[in-house]
Amino acid sequence: MRLVIAECQVDYVGRLTAHLPMASRLILIKSDGSVSIHADDRAFKPLNWMSPPCWLTEHEPGDEAGDLEAVWVVENKSGEQLRISIRGIEHDSSHELGLDPGLVKDGVESHLQELLAEHIETLGDGFTLIRREYMTAIGPVDILCRDAEGQTVAVEIKRRGEIDGVEQLTRYLDLLNRDATIAPVSGIFAAQAIKPQAKTLATDRGIRCVTLDYEELRGTESTEFRLF
């Protein structure tokens, strides 16, 4: 992982455009190729980012660039670009973090995965299970299954559905769709509760959201009064 603190301007050019004016920010470059830009607030959420697969190239600024030291261009396979214009670098370091063991799920989340695998038809008529914990180069996909048309579907399960879960599933889908034996692969983000921001991001990326009823999956009847 490479950590760079620099005074920089960031411009995103792709399906839409976004501009961050010159300011001091943290640039995070991970070993999977992803690049994200952070301010000193907003917790974990970056100001802008480029998900893998993408590639960073460093360029000398042109004569018209004024006092810029460098221009970094991050481009993905769709031709979208994150252009980082750097005026000055305060810190630049690289660190080997090693293999991450992955997230250890709590009891409810792990049980949700087991129950959903047993009742895969919860996701839709005609769904069939391929396997649980389908391994990829960056970690296991919770459930890999097929829909009624035979298309492969990757399912990420959370107790609480937040933006980081959508990002995790997006990374899995990027990898899975490079495998010609199972592509195309669509995604389902499943949780007991999903935050509105996560739903918006998932929908924008073509990922279906499913809210899971833990008690219903366990076969526990509701204690509420019913007419029928």
- CATH number, span 107-218: 3.40.1350.10
Ranges assigned E (strand) in the chain? 2-13, 17-29, 35-38, 48-50, 54-59, 70-76, 81-94, 128-136, 139-146, 152-161, 185-194, 208-211
Residue-level pLDDT at 226: 44
Domain boundary assignment for the chain: 2-94, 107-218
pTM of the model: 0.53
Percent of the chain with pLDDT over 70: 91
Mean pLDDT (the chain, rounded): 89
How confident is residue 224, by pLDDT bands cut at 50, 70 and 90? very low
Which CATH number is 2-94 given? 2.70.180.20
Q: How far is CA 4 from CA 40, 70, 74, 75, 118, in A?
A: 13, 13, 15, 18, 46
pLDDT, tens digit, for every residue of 169-184? Answer: 999 999 999 999 999 9
Residue 21 CA to its chain's centroid (Å)? 25
Q: When comparing pLDDT for 224 and 114, which is higher?
A: 114
At residue 124 the predicted structure's pLDDT band, cuts being 50, 70 and 90, is very high
Query: Identity (one letter) of the amino acid at 132?
Result: R
- Higher pLDDT pick, 108 / 203: 203
pLDDT surpassing 60 at residue 225? no
| Predicted local confidence at residue 167, as pLDDT | 95
104-113 pLDDT per residue, tens: 555 567 888 9
Alpha carbon of residue 20 to chain centroid: 22
Residue 93 pLDDT exceeds 70: yes
Residue 223 has pLDDT above 50, yes or no: no
Quick check: 121 pLDDT over 60? Answer: yes
Asked if residue 217 has pLDDT above 90, the reply is no
- 31-67 pLDDT, tens digit each: 888 999 999 886 668 899 998 889 999 998 877 778 8
Domains 2-94 and 107-218 are alike in CATH topology: no
